[in-house]
Amino acid sequence: MFTILAKRELAKDINEYVIDAPLVAKNAKPGQFIILIVEEGGERVPFTICDMNKVLGTVTILVQTVGATTAKLAKLNAGDTIASFVGPLGNPTDLSGYKKVMLVGGGIGGAVIYPQAKLLHKAGIAPVTVMGARNKDLLIYENEMRTYSSRFYPMTDDGSYGDKGFVTNKVKKLLDTEDFDVILAVGPMPMMEAVTNVARDNPVKVIVSMNSVMVDGTGMCGCCRVTVGGETKYACVDGPEFDGKLIDFAEARTRASFYKEFETEEDCKIRGPRKK
């Protein structure tokens, strides 16, 4: 059992949880993730490690409520427990060797790369950050990102804050006028694909964090496989971060939507008729 020490609602359907998990916190690094089970017998779902405190033994995650398991989690509060919390899984972000870094975050993805921004800032190479969300309210961890970035560009789909439009508009403008060594893009799959495409003809390296569907997160099921440069890789152990320009996004898209497609069918083939 793992205790939720604190919970904060950051926006509608986005919650921040601080979990008591000293073992996970001890070896966790930015870019890695955990897999949790809300209650005994429940689904295993992955979330990026957004922050960790090795002294207090805590791990922070940000969760967007999208389906059954995240809805169950949203009902819990500080003091409640969850059944499993395993990690850190996957490989940490590796930005060593890059001097000029652009961070691109979409939705919750903008927030979970805040430890990377902090690290870069500390190393004296504060990143240029582009952060996008549907509207102002969904732009989370803005202050943190602003603090650790050399320049900060918020973008909203509806223009309620910052520039109106998608992050790719800004990324393109930046690439047209400046040279970057690397872009780290984290967010929904379509956004990461779009950022990669905008940068395709530019020599800049693009790193994306693949949020494939997962089960174990240790390399034993193959459910999270992605094709990178023509080779099959497992997002959970070989990733989650990969060279965006080498990823077969078309395949990744079909794989990500597999369960979605069937979950919305009326006579749900996957779970059987849904119990109301």
Partner 1 sequence: MAIKKRNKPSELNPNVRNKNFEEVTRVFTAEMAVNEADRCLQCKAKPCVKGCPVGIDIPGFIAKIKQSDFDGAADVISEANLLPSICGRVCPQETQCEALCVLNKMGEPIAIGALEKFIGDYKLARGTKVEPIKKIGRRVAVVGSGPAGLTCAADLAREGFEVTIFEAFQRPGGVLTYGIPEFRLPKRVVQNEIKMLKELGVVIKCNVVVGKTILLDELLEEYNAVFIGTGAGLPSFQGIPGENLPGVYSANEYLTRVNLMEARKEGSATPVYRGKKVVVVGAGNVAMDSARTAMRMGADEVSIVYRRSRKEMPARLEEIHHAEEEGIKMLLLTNPVQVLGEKKVEGIRCIKMELGEPDDRGRARPIEIPGSEFDIECDQLIMAIGTSPNPLLPQATPDLEITKRGIIVTDENGLTSIPNVYAGGDAATGAATVILAMSAGRKAAKAIKESLL
Ligand X SMILES: Cc1cc2nc3c(=O)[nH]c(=O)nc-3n(C[C@H](O)[C@H](O)[C@H](O)COP(=O)(O)OP(=O)(O)OC[C@H]3O[C@@H](n4cnc5c(N)ncnc54)[C@H](O)[C@@H]3O)c2cc1C
Measured CA to CA, the distance from residue 28 to residue 212 in angstroms comes to 20
Q: Which residues are at the interface with partner 1 (CB under 8 A)? A: 23-24, 27, 37, 41-44, 68-69, 83-89, 215-216, 218-223, 225, 227, 232, 237, 251, 254-255, 257-259, 262-263, 269-272, 275
**β-strands 33-37, 101-106 pairing:** unpaired
* Least distance in angstroms from the C-beta of 217 to ligand FES: 5
Residue 23 or residue 66: which is nearer to partner 1 going by CB? Answer: 23
Closer residue to partner 1 (CB): 74 or 120: 74
Q: Which parts of 1-60 interact with ligand X (CB under 6 A)?
A: 33, 43, 45-48
In this structure, what is the dihedral angle of CA atoms 13, 16, 19, 23, given to the nearest 10 degrees?
Answer: 110
Question: Binding to ligand FES (CB under 6 A): which residues in 206-235?
Answer: 214-217, 219-224, 234
| Candidate residues 66, 83, 268, 270; the one interacting with ligand X per rule CB under 6 A | 66
Q: What is the closest distance, in whole angstroms, from the C-beta atom of residue 121 to ligand FES in the complex?
A: 32
Output 100 or 225, the one with its CB closest to partner 1: 225
